[in-house]
């Protein structure tokens, strides 16, 4: 069975989660299908700020992501700049229809961003690096420049919003959203049929009144 893995290369947490999800997929004999979305569009839709836009949170996130990466033996290095435009990389992935090949391209691009690979903003560099990973880098970069590639990223982002996705990484299992690296353990329980929320009345939370508001 396959589950969508909504992601944007901009997030170091998503980098860590991608490799953790691959390991979880092998453990459970499941596959997490990478679905590239534009994180900035999710933030705009929900009226929220990204971690990089809050100085104290920005510092914390990079430290926390480094700790989480180290915990699973994953190298993590800062990209050439941050925030950066992930659009080229997102569009490249969107044009790869074969799930296995798409996953391999995602892995290569994530390493370019977060493992000292020079980033993913320069098309010539990305094409060259993909070719070094045995992909047809020139064709992938060329495809990313088409109107279809742009439309696919927009459509995938809009679809994510319809499913209630508000951040990355997000996995959807049986209609339930699991957001962030730490939620992978809960996604695993959902897949195994052991989700703690199945035993409670969620309407109590949905109908809970508010007694204060932030000015």
pLDDT, residue 213, reads 85
Q: How many domains does the chain have?
A: 1
φ/ψ (deg, to 5) at 82 = -165, 125
Cα 187 to Cα 195: distance, rounded to the nearest angstrom = 8
pLDDT, residue 55, reads 92
Give the position of tokens 């809970």. Answer: 208
Six-digit token pair at 20?
């953790």
C-beta of residue 112 within 8 angstroms of C-beta of residue 118: yes
pLDDT, residue 95, reads 98
Segments of the chain scoring below 70 in pLDDT: none
pLDDT, residue 207, reads 84
pLDDT, residue 97, reads 97
How many Cβ atoms from other residues are within 10 Å of residue 201's Cβ? 8
Is residue 213 one of the residues assigned to a domain? no
Q: Which domain holds residue 6?
A: 2-206
pLDDT, residue 205, reads 83
pLDDT, residue 209, reads 87
Is residue 166 one of the residues assigned to a domain? yes
Is residue 214 one of the residues assigned to a domain? no
Is residue 215 one of the residues assigned to a domain? no
**For the chain, how big is the Rg over CA atoms in Å?**
18
Is residue 55 one of the residues assigned to a domain? yes
Going by C-alpha positions, the residue among 96, 88, 99, 95 that lies closest to residue 129 is 88
Is residue 189 one of the residues assigned to a domain? yes
CATH of the domain at 70: 3.40.30.10
Give the position of tokens 């992601």. Answer: 7
Is residue 138 one of the residues assigned to a domain? yes
- Whole-prediction pTM: 0.95
Is residue 120 one of the residues assigned to a domain? yes
Please give, one letter per residue, the 3-state secondary structure of 122-133: CHHHHHHHHHHC
């Amino acid at each position: 069975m396959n589950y969508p893995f909504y992601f944007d290369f901009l997030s170091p947490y998503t980098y860590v989660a991608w490799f953790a999800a691959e390991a979880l997929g092998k453990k459970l004999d499941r596959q997490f299908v990478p679905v590239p979305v534009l994180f900035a569009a999710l933030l705009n839709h929900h009226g929220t700020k990204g971690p990089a836009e809050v100085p104290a949170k920005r510092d914390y996130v990079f430290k926390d992501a480094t700790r989480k990466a180290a915990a699973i033996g994953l190298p993590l290095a800062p990209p050439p700049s941050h925030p950066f435009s992930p659009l080229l990389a997102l569009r490249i992935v969107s044009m790869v229809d074969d799930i296995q090949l798409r996953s391999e391209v995602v892995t290569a691009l994530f390493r370019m961003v977060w493992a000292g690979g020079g980033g993913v903003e320069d098309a010539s560099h990305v094409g060259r690096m993909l070719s070094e990973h045995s992909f047809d880098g020139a064709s992938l970069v060329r495809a990313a420049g088409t109107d279809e590639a742009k439309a696919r990223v927009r459509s995938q982002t809009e679809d994510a919003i319809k499913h209630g996705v508000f951040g990355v990484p997000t996995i959807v299992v049986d209609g339930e959203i699991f957001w962030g690296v730490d939620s992978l353990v809960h996604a695993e329980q959902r897949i195994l049929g052991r989700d703690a929320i199945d035993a409670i009345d969620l309407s109590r939370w949905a109908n809970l009144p508010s007694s204060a508001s932030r000015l």
